[in-house]
Amino acid sequence: MPHSIDPEFTALPLNAIADAVLDRARELNVEHADVRVERIRTADLALHDARLETSHDNDERGLAVRVVHDGTWGFAGGAVIDPEAARALVDRAVEVAKVSKPVTGERIELAPEPAHGEQTWLSAYDVDPFTIAEADRIALLADWSSRLMAAEIVKHADASLKQVRENKFFADLAGTVTMQQRVRLHCQLTALWVDEATGRFESMRTIAPPVGRGWEFMTGGYAWDHELAQLPEWLAEKAQAPSVEPGRYDLVVDPSNLWLTIHESIGHATELDRALGYEANYAGTSFATPDKLNTLRYGSDLMHVTGDRQAEHGLATVGFDDEGVAAQTWDLVKDGTLVGYQLDRRTAALSGIARSNGCAFADSPLHVPIQRMANVSLQPAENGPSTDELIGAVEDGLYVVGDKSWSIDMQRYNFQFTGQRFYRIKSGKIAGQVRDAAYQSMTTDFWNSMAAVGGPQTYVLGGAFNCGKGQPGQVAAVSHGCPSALFTRVNILNATREAG
């Protein structure tokens, strides 16, 4: 269904603000100037045992000016959205650049980007979730929670829904003017079992991914009825399951779990600012340094990982990034070899690469754009096996579904991950759940152990709303697509024993 940009946003004096900023920037002889005007609407709901606990709506509006003056960054943001305030922000940004100049160790250069003229882009969705009454959203979550609570095994049930509509207007001195609107939402339900005698508890959560879609995802875009009906049974089985025996197992990883391993061990590791040591806040640097480009054996020959800002319904999908760079798709790992990075215009210039691949993003009009993660995805094998066929090829192993906890070192190398459900595989058959399992490996060891990649029928676009980076911290939403995949001889830990 066709949509238009939020009329409350387009009613703002956007072109007048752009003219005021860019005219003043020319007067001050800056090398680069851009302006962003944003409106970010966020709504959060949380229910416990089918009763409303939290309802929060936020409407953030503001504008930001960024300049390069005398080879130095300058930035200023504010909440007043009018041409006079915008013009004043240019002066403030230039003053920031002048003050910063004596302590700046390098001259800022930006990789060139062609001017794109005036462009409008909207993400792919059918029903704007902000057109759905709050009472109707609460009623749906309460109904789903009550279904879980009706099962004897379920002691408590939690439900949450987060939805965002993000509008951005951008203009720069080069002549790019963009107007964009993105919609996204994420819904989760969790069932909890408690053994009153011992205090032991287990939980089971839905594996529906966050999506760059609208309310249609809640009313037919996902198999909610099926998953909610199965969740108590899965929880009951987990509550009675034996604790896993640690050792080496072949591991079939479902997309609902593998997306997070991709995020931590590939997504962050191929951010060029981390690989250069230019960024270390929040999640460290990277072992995948530029001297390893085109030589590092990241994984097996089956491994093909792309970065993209174009996937339909992707959380990091845009028309243009926050530096006016057009969205693109490119290879990060091809035939198991590291061949690319995620870039903004600054890191592209630092590395000598001709053009950014459009990975600049700011989560607020009061924050400066930084290099952020694209949709980083493992590509399926053409005519590849189904998940059942991958399981059927395993003599002694485990199958993991759904993400849970994770840990990785500050160079994105040594990691361990748990999951919602681990199943034993014996002679190619599922043989019931086990609990307390976690898989541990080194990034390159793990991806080199990938022995089979599922076909397109197993591919799912997972992801997260809450990828953190930077100082002060910023949060971005990002998707990771992947098929099911088989890994051989993976180290399996018993997490309870490891914890003592």
Kind of pairing between the strands at 118-122 and 177-194: parallel
Only one residue has tokens 């951008």, namely 170
Per the confidence metrics, is the pTM higher than 0.75?
yes
Domains of the chain: 7-240 (3.30.2290.10), 247-498 (no CATH)
Strands (E), 262-411: 305-308, 329-334, 337-338, 360-361, 370-371, 375-378, 396-408
Q: What string of DSSP letters covers 1-34?
A: ------HHHHTS-HHHHHHHHHHHHHHTT-SEEE
- Tell which phi-psi region holds residue 182, choosing left (phi > 0), alpha (psi between -120 and 50) or beta: beta
Predicted confidence pLDDT, tens digits, the chain (500 residues): 568 999 999 999 999 999 999 999 999 999 999 999 999 999 999 999 999 999 999 999 999 999 999 999 999 999 999 999 999 999 999 999 999 999 988 899 999 999 999 999 999 999 999 999 999 999 999 999 999 999 999 999 999 999 999 999 999 999 999 999 999 999 999 999 999 999 999 999 999 999 999 999 999 999 999 999 999 999 999 999 999 999 999 999 999 999 999 999 999 999 999 999 988 888 799 999 999 999 999 999 999 999 999 999 999 999 999 999 999 999 999 999 999 999 999 999 998 888 999 999 999 999 999 999 999 999 999 999 999 999 999 999 999 999 999 999 999 999 999 999 999 999 999 999 999 999 999 999 999 999 999 999 999 999 999 999 998 899 999 999 999 999 999 999 999 888 87
CA–CA dist 20, 28 (Å, integer): 12
